[in-house]
Amino acid sequence: MEQVVQPEVALKQHTIWQNGQTPEPCAVVIFGATGDLTQRKLLPTLAHMMHDHPLPQSFCIVAFARRPMTDEQWRAMALDSVNKFMAPGDKLDEKAQKAFAQNLFYCQSDFNDREGYQKLADLLERLDEEKGTRGNRLFYLATPPTTDSEIIHQLGGAGLARQQHNNGDEESWTRIIIEKPFGRDLVSAQKLNRELARVFRENQTYRIDHYMGKETVQNLLALRFANGIFEPLWNQKYIDHVQIVVAESLGIGTRAEYYEESGAIRDMVQNHIMQVLCLTAMEPPVAFDADAIRDEKVKVMRAIPALSQEQVASNTVRARYTAGVVDGESVPAYKEEKGVAPNSTTETYVALKLFIENWRWADVPFYIRTGKRLPARSTEVTIQFKRVPHQLYKPSETKGLVPNRLTIRIQPDEGITLKFGAKIPGAARQLESVDMDFSYAKAFGIISPEAYERLLADAMIGDSTLFIRRDEVEASWRIVDSIINGWKSMPADSVHTYPAGTWGPKEAEELIERDGREWDTP
């Protein structure tokens, strides 16, 4: 199944615009423009889009941040980040850097300063005249979640959320992108959603989860719904269980303040993992459009019952890493990381067993695990099929043969592997498990777009398919809240430990092994 790609097509360029669409002229306003997300991800992504996927000439980027800075200082800072964080093969030459810089503008203000938003409104009107952005605005909140409410309120007060008419008939558009986390529990998520709804309509609101921009996540839909050999088997009659793993080899870095508040369940399970689970388990949508797909995702989460206290105790494992070795380097324990409280009970690892109570997935367990300081960086979905009803071969002939598994590798080596049994050449009837492997890079010879590139492009053309809808957020928090509330009544020693560089605590192994199954380790 592995395909050989000729060298001349191995670096073929992808396209980010759907069905030949290109965005209308617009201004992208980034709040928190001097922060880490903007410098590492947004600016390099926008620079690459402007250079390799030409945006309209009537396009500009406006920074809104607290730090006093002129346009020229902001442009120098932005180019420094672009040169530092852009992929080596995407580096801009001097001419391209100059063209990018000419589209950068700066507006200095505190997030709670009403006059600053009026200053922003005046700047955007001037750019409409000078750059021809036609009143189209994309606001990106690359800011700490504690500032979201204030920014949303101020945008509404300044009239910046309204979609206006140009030349009396053509309507401009205004959209807002919100970064996760969307609240820290159901109550705060509902409050944030109400605040958004008072200022922006739901079709103006784009809640971004960068995992949804990954090519392989999107290909879950293609794998299931475009192939007649998979969808008929995608149910409880043929599938034994499903595993979702999101493993990170890195620790918390400089994010101690955030991570102490979130832990692994808020940081990964509530958003990334729930989204992948929904795409894996959802029913076929009636159409390939935003609302139809998101309707089916919400149905999946509504079919997952909240966990009782007893279920939390038996079907969840939480742990944190101790000192160990990762990639040949000694790393400190979580409690020794800078900014972590000595008596912290924050988990860096979570393993769960969930059930989806509907006809398709009745009695099929979904095993989930995610953690930091694990041996490798890997995100995979494994579908394990049931064994054959009657084994014709002797146990001695099938020693080591594992059940059929379909593994979707989301990162880092995007692809799909199907594991099946085959006879070893020779006279003996000896079977062994073999892999049929498919690699996106080798098969298509195309550089997959970065997740942020895909999502920014979709926001510019108004396609919200890969963004999170209000009811999705709240349905996810209902499940996660039940787990967090269950943990609150459990003793501190229920937070287990695992050495950095291992695949987690023994309790996580026991969680799946007591069901007669085992983790499919990447």
Reply yes or no: is the peptide bond before residue 232 cis, omega within 30 of 0. no
Q: What is d(CA 500, CA 250) in angstroms, rounded to the nearest whole number?
A: 10
Radius of gyration of the chain, Cα coordinates, nearest whole angstrom:
25
Residue in this structure with the two tokens 């493993």, named with its chain if needed:
247
| CB-based contacts of 237, cutoff 8 Å, min separation 6 | none
The token pair at 494 is 């229920």
Could you tell me where the beta strands, DSSP code E, fall in 291-391?
316-322, 324-326, 329-331, 349-355, 365-371, 378-385
Distance of CA 128 to the CA centre of its chain: 33
Of the candidates 194, 143, 216, 207, which has an alpha carbon nearest to the alpha carbon of residue 476?
207
Residue 162 burial (C-beta neighbours within 10 Å; 0-12, 13-18, 19+): middle
Q: Identify the three-state secondary structure at position 241.
A: strand
| CB-based contacts of 63, cutoff 8 Å, min separation 6 | 30, 33, 34, 38, 69, 74, 78, 104, 105, 106, 107
- Tell me the residue type at 350: V
Q: What is d(CA 479, CA 35) in angstroms, rounded to the nearest whole number?
A: 32
Decide if 272 is catalytic.
yes
Q: What is d(CA 300, CA 353) in angstroms, rounded to the nearest whole number?
A: 15
Give yes or no for a contact between 40 and 210, defined as CB atoms under 8 angstroms apart: no
- The dihedral through the CA atoms of 268, 270, 271, 275 has a sign that is positive
Give yes or no for a contact between 122 and 132, defined as CB atoms under 8 angstroms apart: no
| CB-based contacts of 288, cutoff 8 Å, min separation 6 | 221, 465
Give yes or no for a contact between 377 and 412, defined as CB atoms under 8 angstroms apart: yes
Q: What is d(CA 178, CA 187) in angstroms, rounded to the nearest whole number?
A: 18
Which residue of the set 48, 51, 210, 272 is catalytic? 272
Distance of CA 338 to the CA centre of its chain: 26
The token pair at 337 is 């990381």
Distance of CA 204 to the CA centre of its chain: 20
Q: Which residues are known catalytic residues?
A: 272
